[in-house]
Structure 1
C-alpha cells in the first residue's frame, strides 16, 4: 500500500521559467540543479519514491526540498511581477539554510580595528618593539577596549586572513626586558 500523498507543489509560469533557466545555465552548482529538478518533478505530479530513483537522491532530500518549496509558494507568488526579485527569491528558497553553531565572537569592525592597530608602529602605543607580535597586539587590543578579550592565536588568524605580517616570537630586546 502506498504511503500518504506527498505535499503538492504548484508552479506558476514565471516560477517554472526561472527554474528551467537555472537548469540551462552551465554555472549552476549541481546541488542547486538537483533541488530544481526535485521541484520541477514534484510540480509534474511525480511521487517521492520514483523521484528518488530518477534523480539518484535520498527520500529525505526529496521530502525536504518539496516541503521547502511548498512552504514558500505564497511568498513566491507575491514577487512574480518582478523577475529579478523572483529569481533572487527562488535562489533563497533553494539555498542551504544557515548552519547551527556559535555566533561569531568578533565583529567585522573589531577585526578591522585590530588590523588597523597592526599597521601602526608599536612605539606609537608606547611598546618597546620594532614590530608587533600577536601577543602584544592582543594585549594592546584589550587595553584599547577594541575587544574585551582575545588570544594571540585569534590575532594571528585575523592577521593571516588579512595578509598582515607580525613577528611570531617576541623580540629579543623585549624578552630580556621582561626577565628583569
Structure 2
C-alpha cells in the first residue's frame, strides 16, 4: 500500500551541515532549535516525516512545518552565504532565524515599561508617605492611587498583582 510520493532529501551543503551539527553540542542551544535542527538533519539524510516524528517524539505536522520552512528559505540562505564572507556566526544566525517561530500578533501593551517601573516604585513606599491612612498597600488601593495620580491611565487590581509578582515585589 502506497503512502504517497517519497519526499526528496533536503538540500544542505557541507558547510551548513557542519555548522548545524556543531550547534547541537552547545550547552546554550534552545530545545526548540535542537529539535528543529535534528528534523532538518534527518530530512537531509532522506528519513521520512513519519520516522522523524517517531524518533524525535513529535508530530508529523511539526516535521512537515519545519521541513517546508527550510525549503522555502533555502535559496535565500544560499544567496546570503554567497554574498557574505563565510562567517560561521552570521550563517548560523541566519539558519537559526529560519528555524525560529514567526512573531505572533497580539494586543499591544497598554502599560509601558516605565509605567510598570513607577508602579513598583510606588509599591515600595508606604501609603502614609502619601497621607493615606493605611499601613500597607493592597492591590485595590495601589491600582486606584496609581490611576488617580496619573502613574497609569487604567489598571486592574489583578494586573497590579501580576506586575508585582513578576518583579518579585510585594506591596509594603
Shorter-chain TM-score tier: 0.7 to 0.9
Q: What's the counterpart of residue 19 of structure 1?
A: 20
Please give the TM-score of this superposition, normalised by the length of structure 1: 0.73
Between the aligned partners of 1:88 and 1:131, the Cα distance in structure 2 is 49
Q: TM-score, normalised by structure 2?
A: 0.75
Deviates more, 1:144-153 or 1:20-29: 20-29
Q: What is residue 163 of structure 1 aligned with on the other side?
A: 168
* 8 Å CA contact retained: 1:123, 1:130: yes
Q: Cα RMSD between the aligned structures? A: 2.9
Q: Is 1:133 equivalent to 2:138 in the alignment?
A: yes
Partner of 1:145: 150
Q: Does the Cα contact within 8 Å between 2:128 and 2:134 map onto a contact in 1?
A: yes
For 1:64, the equivalent position in structure 2 comes to 65
| Matches for 1:74-113 after TM superposition, within 5 Å | 74-77=75-78, 78-79=80-81, 81-98=86-103, 102-113=107-118
Aligned mates of 2:104, 2:129 — CA distance in 1 = 42
Partner of 1:32: 33
Q: Could you list the runs of 5+ residues in structure 1 that have no partner in the other structure? A: 168-180
Secondary structure of 1:127's aligned partner: coil
Is this contact kept in 2: 1:7–1:66, CA < 8 A? Answer: no
> Equivalents in 1 of 2:68, 2:143: separation in Å?
47
Structure 2 gaps, min length 5: none
